[in-house]
Amino acid sequence: MKNTPQRYSINPAQAPEKGYLGIILGGMDIEYNSNSSLFTAEQLIYNDATTGKKYMFYNAPASTGFSSAKFLNGIEDDNIISTNIGMNLLNIGFWTKVGFFSLDINFKTSMNMSVSKGLFAFMLDGMDETGAPSSYNFGMRSTMASYLETALGFSRPINEEWSVGGKLKFYNGLAAYDLNYDNINATLSGDKWLITTQGTVDVAMSGATFEVDEKGTVNSDGNYPVDGVKNDGFKPSGFGLGVDLGVEYKPKALEDLTLSFAVNDLGFINWSKSNVISADSKGTFEHDGFENILNNNNDGKSVKDQISDMGDDLKDVFLPYEAESRSMSTGLTTKVHLGGEYDFFQKRLTLGLLSSTYINEIRTIQEITTAATYTPAKWFSLTGSYSWVNSGFKTFGWALSLNPNSGSRFFIASDYMIGNINPQGLPISGKNMNLSMGISIVLGANKNNIEAFKF
């Protein structure tokens, strides 16, 4: 939507016609997306029509219609989920005789998780019924970064057709972790079970230390990396730089056409090594059967004790051991936007097409969104959209903008709407959702009243 601070946040060349001020509620973004149906209710929960009982996939009986082959065919080789949360603490933008200036201070958190299909094949299929060796290779990774972002922006028209803009961003890293088990191998046969693991854990946080047992194992009784880390709280422990760059073109020959291109969050955060703690996991689990199964005397361990020992040994293979701290750098999710829009009926109707690519350490997401915006009055706009690549031809969106010449502006939008969720809050079939909203106060001079700064 035109003339909103949110549009300027996507492309710094597209500054609104008037300035703005937003504090705390100036903008908020929540986004969840996945490339796989693994994280939906229809893939995880199965219903027995006869009894009415619901089962999770790992213990669903055949009466629910569940089968290992059907489940595995319904997920990706690499199943990825991403969550991004952003909250605007302060944003201000204003026109001067040389262009449009802006200052933004935001709190952001980004989380990503990747799980291989091989893990679920291992869980569901296990050992071949004939006792023949069954081999599995899989991995998993989880990353998180929380940081404060301070952005200084500038935008200006350079002639009647072209406008350019950019933002210089400073990042204060608050906390991050990278848990990466990239090589897990399991071979199961009638004679022997053999499992090997290889992984790393890096945590960046002010004053962070691992909670370890006498063996140096990180928090063997809890859930790492969160429960296994002591820290001084959310304090700056890393620093980074980034840029946003944008350009807008309005050809004279087609005055109702607007083309735009932007790159956002091209940057990184380096974490101070003194605030980084590291752990490694590299182990082998081997089991060749139980001993003295029929022996009821006390001259050896019972089967129950042997099962308990086996569980402890298997757990130890995955638990990390404290290691020397490593240097740590977090790449941000870089966004590339290429768009075009055309105005009809004296700008009352606008049709647009936007290609978006999101690139981070775990995955690359591509999306194409078509949109139609109806503007019956200059202060009111309503948009409907449809996204049809990453969303699998299932996602409708909408946006509402109240944009008066003075007073307060209000904006709310969702590119990915989830139609149905189950009682546990899981989407039934949708893989993506987002919500963006903001309130700001109109400030300053109007862009159209300032001509002196143009070349």
Q: How far apart are CA 242 and CA 231, in angstroms?
A: 27
Query: Tens of pLDDT along 127-169?
Result: 777 767 889 999 999 999 999 999 999 999 999 899 999 999 9
Model-level pTM?
Answer: 0.86
For 72-104, give one letter per residue: b (16+ CB within 10 A) or e.
Answer: eeebeebbbbbebebebbebbbbbeeebbbbeb
Mean pLDDT of 52-68: 89
Largest CA distance in the chain: 99
Q: How far apart are CA 86 and CA 149, in angstroms?
A: 10
Percent of the chain with pLDDT over 70: 83
Give the position of tokens 């939906």: 40
pLDDT band per the 50, 70, 90 thresholds, residue 455 = very low
Reading the block at residue 63, the tokens are: 């009466």
Which own/partner pairs from 251-255 qualify as long-range (CB within 8 Å, at least 24 positions apart)? 251/161, 252/160, 252/161, 254/342
pLDDT band per the 50, 70, 90 thresholds, residue 384 = very high
Mean pLDDT of 380-396: 80
For 136, counting Cβ atoms within 10 Å of its Cβ (0-12 exposed, 13-18 middle, 19+ buried), the class is buried
* Domains of the chain, residue spans: 5-36+76-449
Q: CB of 395 within 8 A of CB of 430?
A: yes
* Type of residue at 182: D
Q: How far apart are CA 136 and CA 126, in angstroms?
A: 9
Q: How far is CA 191 from the centre of its chain?
A: 43
Q: How far apart are CA 197 and CA 80, in angstroms?
A: 21
Query: Tens of pLDDT along 75-113?
Result: 999 999 899 999 999 999 999 888 999 999 999 999 999
Q: How far apart are CA 278 and CA 209, in angstroms?
A: 9
Query: Tens of pLDDT along 277-322?
Result: 998 988 887 766 544 444 544 455 554 565 556 566 666 777 788 8
Q: How far apart are CA 116 and CA 180, in angstroms?
A: 12
**Looking at residue 330, what is its pLDDT?**
92
**Looking at residue 4, what is its pLDDT?**
78
Q: How far apart are CA 239 and CA 243, in angstroms?
A: 14
> Out of 1.10.1740, 2.40.160, 3.30.70, 2.60.40, which CATH number does the structure's domain 5-36+76-449 have?
2.40.160
Give me the sign of the Cα torsion angle 433, 439, 443, 445: positive
Mean pLDDT of 50-59: 88
Please provide residue 192's backbone torsions phi and psi, each rounded to the nearest 5 degrees: -155, 145
H or E element in which residue 376 lies: strand 364-377
Q: How many CA atoms lie within 13 Å of 298's alpha carbon, on the beta-carbon side?
A: 0
